[in-house]
Structure 1
């Protein structure tokens, strides 16, 4: 049984005590598997450079990191919130050097108190991970919400590719985010693209967001298409570990440095 008291006052006390954790929520306008692959490699790159990394799979519909790594079948954070298991039972070390937690909200019949309990449990989790980079593999629901409020307050990065459909979907996602969360910066990460291609995608999105939404976008960099990404995945390894000299490895190390020492607010704006 979980040893936490999940009443609202305790959750608030835990949030206010000590330093505020670093949380970055990733959303995607790319193919189903692209975000999971990117986050595994980003997490491994951050871990390899000396950072403690926790990835929380908060996907309700998509192919998240927990499923990709095969740790989605057991209990998750929702079961901790319901006091059906302890928090340490749902934190899984990944061979790539980071830890993974499955939120496990898929197809759940929520009790009226589940949302509050889950939010408090997430706050306890990230507080326990103070000093780490907490990455959330997330989705923004059609009704304009996140599974836990902390995601709305976190840094938010949207992954996009060079395809017209992905760019259109990414812009629509930024528009929905700004409508529900208000005017604030959002990061843009372009994958499957050369630096020149990524610059065109970012510049066009940034110009449109500034002009039509009054929203500032920040460039979080790019990752090129690279056959070594798939080769590393087939070996169950991160590309930075299996093929450290590959172009994707160089890009992920650069990306890890940007996330470790900067953030959405410090990304390059148009």
Structure 2
């Protein structure tokens, strides 16, 4: 598998892209909402965005957007179709790779499936600039794998003790076991800018004391009733209520993401991301 992967890296058409994993540990913090709103705001800013629904056990990106999915990544692994065949289009032209709704996880793939997935991504014809990886809730091996493979890890945290604790636990595992030491933080569903800053302060207080990591507060997303309204409409707030406070905060985040640098070879390449993802 390594020889094949090395060969893929030498291909002339390697795609230089930005890969961002959106995680946060605890469920219910609005992680998928952050992933989708950021993705659509990026698309509205002119970026070609591909969203990978990385919750391989409980797909939800397509459900949140009210999209119908005929095939998903499991059909690619079984050889029934190519990766391009399963990609569906979402709002503002974003592209989505739907997850499986079964229980298969990346860590359970056979060596042949590992090689097949690398090959599938290397042969992807769909053009894009940014890959947003919407990870599952929790701190499972699958979440860790996606997070350590990405160039940037964006952690979504709410002002709740369980959210802060789970976010800390995820950073501890990634820094201790996987060499990830830089994290971008999104303070989500806060009542004010001050509350967002205070939430970030709570997080840095414990990380500064116990972990060797660097945190950057990249967004403060206010609590906005329009988010709930947009979810009921199966839309995201930047599409349904573009002038709302939360939508404006997501657009500001997207503008920041556009300025994040893409690492030099090989970590800026899509194949490298997949190899890192599947590395045991």
The interval holding the TM-score normalised by the smaller chain is 0.7 to 0.9
TM-score (norm 1): 0.81
Match of 1:118 in 2: 117
Match of 2:9 in 1: 15
| Residues 58, 105 of structure 1: 8 Å contact kept | no
Shift in Å, 1:14: 3.4
Q: How does 1:43-192 map to 2 (within 5 A)?
A: 43-62=39-58, 64-70=60-66, 73-104=69-100, 106-108=102-104, 110-125=109-124, 128=125, 131-139=128-136, 144-146=141-143, 152-192=149-189
| Residues 158, 164 of structure 2: 8 Å contact kept | yes
Give the distance between the partners of 2:4 and 2:250, measured in 1 at CA.
Answer: 38
Aligned to 2:117, what secondary structure does the other structure show? helix
TM-score (norm 2): 0.79
Match of 2:218 in 1: 220
Give the distance between the partners of 1:115 and 1:44, measured in 2 at CA.
Answer: 30
Number of matched pairs? 257
| Residues 65, 236 of structure 2: 8 Å contact kept | no
Q: Which range is displaced more, 237-246 or 12-21?
A: 12-21
Deviation digits for residues 45-96 of structure 1 (CA, Å, limit 9, x no counterpart):
1111111111000113455313433557533223223321122211000134
Match of 2:278 in 1: none
* Structure 2 residue 229 is the aligned partner of structure 1 residue 250: no
Give the distance between the partners of 1:86 and 1:61, measured in 2 at CA.
Answer: 21
| Residues 198, 222 of structure 1: 8 Å contact kept | yes
Shift in Å, 1:237: 2.8
In structure 2, list runs of 5 or more residues that go unmatched.
Answer: 264-280
Residues 1:175 and 1:240: Cα distance change in structure 2 (over 3 Å): same
| Residues 41, 250 of structure 2: 8 Å contact kept | yes
Aligned to 2:254, what secondary structure does the other structure show? helix
Residues 1:148 and 1:179: Cα distance change in structure 2 (over 3 Å): closer
